[in-house]
Amino acid sequence: MQKTRQFGISVIEGDGIGPDVVQAAVAVLDALQARFGGFALRYEPVIAGARYYRETGLEIESGAFERLAGSDAILLGAIGLPDVRRPDGTEISPHLEVRDRFGLYAGVRPAKAYPNAPRRLLDERAAGIDLVVLRESTEGLFFTQGRGEISGDAEARETLRITRPTSEKLFDFAFRLARRRKARGGRGLVTCVDKANVFRAFAFFRKIFDERRAAFADIDAGYAYVDAMALDLIRHPWDFDVLVTENMFGDILSDLTAALVGGMGIASCGEIGDAHALFQPAHGSAPDIVGQDRANPLATILSAGLMLDYLGERHDEPLMLEAAQLLDRVVTDGFAERDFLPVEFGGRDGTRAVTRAIVARIARY
């Protein structure tokens, strides 16, 4: 008999709509486990966030980092509430510490046009948008976070940092991702997005990109300055596949690409390092819609799909890879056959209705 492989998943529901969208994703993961068998996810709750901070003065449970480190993946809802701040005025952000501690350098942010989801561009070809922004997530301009200097109320400075080891890993990740996407019909193209015409750090970034591309002759490599990319992502986003870029550029461009295919409620995200990975929607805790069953759960559900894909690849579990692909088909067909249209997209379906429709469809396939 086939052995069922167990995976420990740390689950941080967090604040605002976080618990609702995480529960939606867990319901979908359960449906996929039931449909496929062969793998079992053991959920381990970890409490963290702004509400927890308000109640206890702690941003995350004590001992949590050890537990997170011991799990196979982390699934997170959203962290932060506008009225809860640290004494210095900054936001509660234990998830950023997770990113740093675990070296989660590869920020995977897909943007894919689903049928009948809002299309922001008039051109028919926008139906073919299917790209990933790969945002380096541990250095770049964000390296400077908490380290900036203001001298004499007259001048402020922040430092951008690009390192060879991280850039090499990032580019290899980008090319491998493009290769996997190509095997499933993707364009097989990695575009390096930088500002190499102005900054030495980005010329260095591009030089390393050129070195690494040599090992991936089956994948095309392109270049774009970030300003030109902002233009091209509106003019012809359907021509791109994997965009690999620095932290701040990726932060900005991935919001733009999320908007192209609907909005933040469909923007999934994987943050992947050498030994750990965290999956969460790209949106925040949306306190303005909390408790109304209006949150679009798709971003978190699709992030859970990225998690299955990550675990399947890492642990060589074909059934998990299949489950991830089935989930994408279910979401595509669900949109195409008007099973659901989230409130966020002008439809009538709340968090629970969208989740129910997806779970029901998984059982039918």
Binding site for ligand ATP (CB under 6 A): 80, 264-265, 283-286, 288-289, 295-296, 299, 344
- State the DSSP code for 93: -
Residue number with CB closer to ligand ATP (64 or 78): 78
Question: Terminal CA-to-CA distance of the chain, rounded, Å?
Answer: 24
Smallest gap from Cβ 139 to ligand ATP, in A, equals 20
Burial of 332: CB neighbours in 10 Å, binned 0-12, 13-18, 19+: middle
Residue number with CB closer to ligand ATP (201 or 258): 258
What is the rounded distance in angstroms from the CA atom of residue 323 to the CA atom of residue 41? 13
Smallest gap from Cβ 145 to ligand ATP, in A, equals 14
Q: Which tokens hold the place of 327?
A: 């989930």
Which residue from 143, 63, 57 is spatially nearest to 92, judged by alpha carbons? 57
Q: Which residues contact 337 (CB under 8 A, 6 or more apart)?
A: none
Q: Which tokens hold the place of 329?
A: 């088909």
DSSP for 208-232, written as a single string: HHHHHHTT-TTSEEEEEEHHHHHHH
Smallest gap from Cβ 267 to ligand ATP, in A, equals 9
Smallest gap from Cβ 94 to ligand ATP, in A, equals 13
Smallest gap from Cβ 286 to ligand ATP, in A, equals 4
- The DSSP H or E segment spanning 189 is strand 189-194
Smallest gap from Cβ 201 to ligand ATP, in A, equals 26
Smallest gap from Cβ 283 to ligand ATP, in A, equals 3
Residue number with CB closer to ligand ATP (50 or 73): 50
Residue number with CB closer to ligand ATP (29 or 286): 286
Which residue from 280, 318, 314 is spatially nearest to 300, judged by alpha carbons? 280
Residue number with the smallest Cβ distance to ligand ATP:
284
Residue number with CB closer to ligand ATP (320 or 331): 331
Smallest gap from Cβ 95 to ligand ATP, in A, equals 10
Smallest gap from Cβ 296 to ligand ATP, in A, equals 4
DSSP for 244-308, written as a single string: EE-HHHHHHHHHHHHHHTT-GGG---EEE-SS-EEE--SS---GGGTTTT----HHHHHHHHHHH
Residue number with CB closer to ligand ATP (219 or 299): 299
Residue number with CB closer to ligand ATP (106 or 295): 295
Q: Which tokens hold the place of 336?
A: 């195409």
Residue number with CB closer to ligand ATP (80 or 94): 80
Which residue from 252, 263, 355, 359 is spatially nearest to 23, judged by alpha carbons? 355
Residue number with CB closer to ligand ATP (71 or 285): 285
Q: Which residues share a beta bridge with 109? A: 133
Residue number with CB closer to ligand ATP (191 or 254): 254
Rg over CA atoms, the chain: 20
Smallest gap from Cβ 93 to ligand ATP, in A, equals 9
What is the rounded distance in angstroms from the CA atom of residue 301 to the CA atom of residue 21? 8
State the sign of the Cα–Cα–Cα–Cα dihedral 313, 316, 318, 324.
Answer: negative
